[in-house]
């Protein structure tokens, strides 16, 4: 494999500064926060405001100088107060009594305690510093100052004196004293090969696989997964990849976020060596100690696939023989999408096979189990703490191949990778540099291996600093595995709590498997459940967090088993001899379920249909109608209810409801209603007859009145006519001579 080495990394600077020098000195600084002393300038008074001054020291350009040559100590001051910081005097001191082990290095950096006397190796005056700003100063260290230092780790410190902060409102001034501790590492040019293992993991918030939204956030330019690739790019770090991340992207098909697809492409293009962690980074040690015959794997990933997100499979075309054969029509896509299988979804391209990185609480039998799980040639990554401090990177135990990470150095560089603040990171880098030298002395030229913690929130620059502080140019994991192993012995003790938890989780899974028979496709429940179990067993959790995770998972299982049930019911009133009793069945699952409701009475006075099968839709409650028949007029009867799956698995335990039978009320009600109906009909008939008679009488009376009126009118009309005739006769003139009579005769 060809590794790309960054030009700005630790090793690049080593090459540029050291060149062909045989002896190197590594000096990395520490960072402290200094509070002002109670000293007061003339004419001032004590200030109650707490001030903060950041003070950091390092020697050389990230600490590389050749013994006997001149170097420069870099001082960084950061004024986080609200006042201007005056100039002061910086004095850099060195103890020529080396720190010989990890404990003494930690004691010096954490507590400021170191053996031997300190001597001044340089001093410098600092310039005034405005509020909320930072500045650097350099202290020249003469060449002859380091000439008598032999390879080792030496305490280095710097002190700031004479600086004062001035109040913005009055003439008060407060004296400031600050100190910083560091180490100066003097070492021969590095010949030890050092590799760094970087786990790449990501845990979903609550689901089995990372969701589309989570992937979009993690693979965004400022996302955590993007930072991990940025941090390892250009280094020889070995990647330990959780396949569940790749699976989460692949199951989404064309609907996966563009940034996630690009991230996957970028990961596969990196030249770094890699191997696959177990799915979900599950702990193989706990599984081996639980006596499992094989490592747990996802049951199936098919429930996570949506056919709409995958291309249709092209139709196959049968070949035709003979040069004169007429070509057939071009193949057209079929209606069946081409879905990837589980192996394609979980594959880590270019991964080295048969490597496990489990928890350290293992024993010799566990190593044999790992070989049984993965086959001959299995390599297990363990920490030196599990081997009594043996730090050589390649070891063997009982014929089992081991890769050993140095515990102290791994923890120190893990702290570096987790520290986002560049100044705070310098102190951690100083400790890592010292521990690296001490580890190289212990292994006497044998390769070293660093295993960073499982950390899903690393800063890219911090991760790169951690890797560059240790990894060797051209480091190859395959070459390390080919080196002669050193014998080792396990000193770690098995943790029975983890093995017990595995068996408990699998027992719960067995209960869920039986429960899932109510589903059309049980894997929609069982596949995510298995992945959650794997994540619960993830490596790197403390005893407390592991116990909390197991408890949380078991609580979730209990809630799932209670998701399909018969809600409590009040007494049901049965007012007829034959009726359908409504029995509620609740389904809180996100899928439809098929259940069988069994009902049996506690008294033969009530006959019921013993079993009713029904489908309850997702997240709903359905009232199942159960036919019943009462044999007696009245009484109270208890019904025993229970739910079973179509395969006979009990889903809900026996529950009783009370039925108050009032069957005679039906007859009484019918009689009453019948009597009322007859009465109402009779009253209606009587009322109708009376109304008809009344209407007939009124009509006869009206007709008589009309006849009477007609007679009166007729008589009045005759009388009027007679009067008109008489009046006409009286008014007529007497006839004259010559007139004719009415019969035509002439009157004389």
* pLDDT of amino acid 683: 84
DSSP 413-475: HHHHHH---HHHHHHHHHHHHHHHHHHHHHHTT--EEEE----SS--HHHHHHHHHTTPPTT-
* Residue (of 133, 153, 191) closest to 59 by Cα position: 153
More confident residue, 352 or 149: 352
Burial 604-622 (b: 16+ CB within 10 A, else e): ebbebeeebebebeeeeeb
* pLDDT of amino acid 26: 41
Proportion of the chain above pLDDT 70, given as a percent: 82
DSSP 204-249: -SSSSS--HHHHHHHTSTTSHHHHHHHHHTTS-PEEEE-HHHHHHH
* pLDDT of amino acid 5: 33
pLDDT digits 0-9 by tens, 386-400: 999 999 999 999 999
Could you tell me the pLDDT band of residue 724, with boundaries at 50, 70 and 90? low
Residues 231, 134, 137, 98, Cα dihedral to 10°: -50
Least confident of 1-15, 181-195, 404-418: 1-15
The domains of the chain are located at 22-41+48-188, 194-297+341-388+402-421+444-487, 496-561, 564-662
> What Å distances lie between residue 714 and 700, 709, 717, CA to CA?
21, 9, 5
* pLDDT of amino acid 667: 56
**pLDDT for residue 319 is more than 60:** no
* pLDDT of amino acid 610: 92
**pLDDT for residue 45 is more than 50:** no
**pLDDT for residue 364 is more than 50:** yes
* pLDDT of amino acid 15: 35
More confident residue, 666 or 447: 447
* pLDDT of amino acid 39: 35
Average pLDDT, the chain: 83
Could you tell me the pLDDT band of residue 258, with boundaries at 50, 70 and 90? very high
> In this structure, are residues 536 and 550 in contact, taking their beta carbons and an 8 Å threshold?
yes
> In this structure, are residues 3 and 232 in contact, taking their beta carbons and an 8 Å threshold?
no
pLDDT digits 0-9 by tens, 286-304: 999 999 999 999 999 999 9
Max CA separation in the chain (angstroms): 199
Report how far Cα 219 is from the mean position of its chain's Cα atoms: 15
Q: How far apart (Å, rounded) are the C-alpha atoms in residues 186 and 25? A: 4
**Which CATH superfamily includes the segment(s) 564-662?**
Subtilisin-like superfamily (2.60.40.1710)
* Residue (of 182, 286, 171, 193) closest to 238 by Cα position: 193
* pLDDT of amino acid 64: 56
* pLDDT of amino acid 721: 62
Q: What count of other Cβ atoms lies within 10 Å of the Cβ of residue 7?
A: 10
In the predicted model, what is the mean pLDDT of residues 579-586? 91
In the predicted model, what is the mean pLDDT of residues 636-640? 87
Could you tell me the pLDDT band of residue 284, with boundaries at 50, 70 and 90? very high
More confident residue, 82 or 621: 621
Q: How far apart (Å, rounded) are the C-alpha atoms in residues 639 and 572? A: 10
pTM of the model: 0.79
H helices present in 35-183, as ranges: 102-111
* pLDDT of amino acid 456: 94
- CATH hierarchy code of domain 22-41+48-188: 2.60.40
* pLDDT of amino acid 395: 95
pLDDT digits 0-9 by tens, 167-193: 656 667 788 888 888 888 887 766 689
**pLDDT for residue 361 is more than 60:** yes
Could you tell me the pLDDT band of residue 339, with boundaries at 50, 70 and 90? very high
Could you tell me the pLDDT band of residue 285, with boundaries at 50, 70 and 90? very high
pLDDT digits 0-9 by tens, 465-504: 999 988 888 889 988 998 999 999 999 888 899 999 999 9
Long-range contacts of 95-98 (CB under 8 A, 24+ apart): 95/119, 95/154, 95/155, 95/156, 96/148, 96/149, 96/154, 97/154, 97/155, 98/150, 98/152, 98/153, 98/154
> In this structure, are residues 304 and 341 in contact, taking their beta carbons and an 8 Å threshold?
no
Could you tell me the pLDDT band of residue 615, with boundaries at 50, 70 and 90? very high
In the predicted model, what is the mean pLDDT of residues 266-282? 97
* pLDDT of amino acid 668: 55
Fold type of domain 194-297+341-388+402-421+444-487:
TIM Barrel (3.20.20)
* pLDDT of amino acid 474: 82
* pLDDT of amino acid 12: 37
More confident residue, 198 or 602: 198
* Residue (of 125, 123, 133, 132) closest to 163 by Cα position: 125
* pLDDT of amino acid 228: 97
* pLDDT of amino acid 168: 59
**pLDDT for residue 333 is more than 90:** no
Least confident of 120-129, 545-554, 674-683: 674-683
Q: What count of other Cβ atoms lies within 10 Å of the Cβ of residue 39?
A: 13
Based on the number of CB atoms within 10 Å of its own CB, is 442 exposed (0-12), middle (13-18) or buried (19 or more)?
middle
Domains 22-41+48-188 and 564-662 share a fold: yes
Could you tell me the pLDDT band of residue 521, with boundaries at 50, 70 and 90? very high
In the predicted model, what is the mean pLDDT of residues 329-346? 79
Could you tell me the pLDDT band of residue 76, with boundaries at 50, 70 and 90? confident
Angle (nearest 5°) at CA 442 between 437 and 443: 100
Q: How far apart (Å, rounded) are the C-alpha atoms in residues 491 and 397? A: 12
**pLDDT for residue 712 is more than 50:** yes
Instruction: Provide φ and ψ at 433, rounded to 5°.
Output: -60, -40
Map residue 48 onto helix, strand or coil: coil
* pLDDT of amino acid 664: 56
* Residue (of 87, 83, 78) closest to 168 by Cα position: 83
**pLDDT for residue 74 is more than 90:** no
């Amino acid at each position: 494999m060809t590794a790309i080495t960054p030009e700005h990394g630790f090793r690049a600077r080593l090459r540029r500064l050291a060149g062909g020098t045989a002896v190197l000195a590594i000096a990395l600084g520490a960072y402290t926060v200094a509070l002002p002393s109670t000293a007061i300038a003339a004419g001032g008074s004590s200030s109650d405001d707490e001030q903060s001054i950041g003070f950091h020291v390092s020697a050389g350009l990230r600490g590389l100088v050749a013994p006997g040559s001149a170097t420069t100590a870099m001082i960084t001051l950061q004024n986080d107060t609200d006042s201007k910081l005056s100039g002061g005097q910086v004095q850099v001191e060195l103890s020529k009594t080396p720190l010989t082990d990890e404990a003494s290095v930690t004691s010096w950096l954490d507590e400021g305690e170191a053996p031997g006397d300190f001597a001044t190796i340089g001093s410098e005056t600092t310039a005034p510093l405005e509020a909320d700003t930072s500045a650097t100063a350099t202290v020249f260290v003469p060449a002859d100052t380091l000439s008598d230092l032999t390879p080792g780790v030496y305490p280095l410190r710097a002190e700031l004196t004479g600086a004062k902060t001035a109040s913005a409102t009055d003439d008060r001034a407060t004296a400031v004293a600050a100190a910083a501790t560091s180490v100066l590492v003097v070492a021969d040019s590095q010949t030890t090969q050092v590799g760094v293992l970087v786990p790449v993991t990501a845990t979903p918030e609550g689901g089995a696989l990372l969701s589309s939204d989570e992937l979009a956030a993690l693979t965004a330019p400022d996302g955590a997964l993007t930072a991990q690739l940025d941090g390892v790019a250009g280094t020889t770090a070995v990647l330990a990849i959780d396949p569940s991340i790749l699976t989460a992207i692949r199951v989404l098909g064309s609907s996966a976020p563009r940034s996630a697809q690009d991230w996957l492409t970028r990961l596969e293009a990196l030249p770094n060596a890699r191997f696959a962690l177990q799915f979900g980074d599950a702990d193989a040690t706990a599984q081996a100690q639980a006596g499992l015959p094989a490592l747990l794997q996802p049951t199936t990933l098919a429930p996570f696939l949506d056919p709409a997100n995958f291309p249709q499979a092209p139709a196959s075309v049968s070949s035709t023989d003979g040069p004169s054969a007429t070509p057939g029509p071009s193949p057209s896509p079929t209606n069946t999408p081409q879905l990837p299988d589980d192996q394609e979804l979980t594959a880590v391209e270019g991964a080295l096979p048969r490597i496990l990185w489990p928890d350290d609480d293992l024993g010799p039998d566990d190593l044999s189990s790992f070989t049984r799980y993965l086959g001959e040639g299995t390599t297990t990554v363990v920490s030196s703490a599990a081997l009594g401090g043996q730090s050589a990177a390649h070891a063997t135990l009982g014929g089992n191949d081991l890769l050993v990470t140095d515990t102290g150095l791994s923890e120190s560089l893990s702290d570096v990778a987790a520290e986002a603040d560049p100044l705070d990171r310098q102190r951690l880098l100083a400790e890592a540099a010292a521990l690296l030298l001490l580890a190289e002395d212990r292994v006497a030229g044998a390769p070293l291996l660093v295993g960073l913690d499982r950390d899903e929130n690393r800063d890219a620059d911090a991760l790169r600093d951690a890797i560059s502080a240790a990894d060797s140019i051209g480091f190859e994991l395959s070459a390390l595995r080919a080196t002669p192993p050193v014998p080792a012995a396990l000193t770690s003790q098995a943790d029975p709590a983890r093995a017990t938890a595995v068996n408990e989780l699998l027992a719960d899974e067995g209960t869920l498997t039986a429960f899932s028979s109510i589903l059309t496709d049980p894997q929609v429940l069982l596949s995510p459940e298995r992945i959650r179990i794997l994540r619960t067993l993830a490596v790197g959790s403390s005893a407390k967090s592991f116990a909390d995770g197991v408890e949380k998972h078991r609580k979730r299982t209990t809630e799932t088993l209670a998701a399909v049930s018969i809600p409590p019911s009040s007494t049901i009133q049965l007012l007829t001899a034959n009726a359908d009793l409504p029995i509620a069945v609740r389904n809180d699952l996100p899928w439809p379920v098929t259940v069988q409701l069994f009902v049996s009475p506690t008294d033969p006075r009530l006959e019921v249909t013993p079993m009713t099968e029904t489908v309850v839709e997702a997240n709903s409650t359905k009232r199942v109608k159960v036919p019943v028949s009462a044999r007696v007029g009245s009484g109270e009867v208890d019904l025993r209810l229970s739910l079973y799956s179509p395969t006979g698995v009990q889903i809900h335990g026996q529950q009783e409801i009370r039925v108050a039978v009032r069957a005679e009320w039906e007859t009484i009600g019918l009689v009453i209603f019948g009597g009322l109906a007859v009465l109402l009909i009779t009253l209606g008939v009587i009322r109708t007859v009376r109304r008809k008679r009344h209407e007939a009488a009124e009509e006869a009376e009206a007709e008589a009145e009309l006849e009477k009126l007609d007679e009166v009118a007729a008589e009045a009309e005759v009388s009027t006519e007679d009067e008109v005739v008489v009046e006409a006769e009286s008014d007529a003139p007497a006839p004259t001579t010559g007139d004719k009579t009415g019969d035509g005769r002439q009157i004389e």
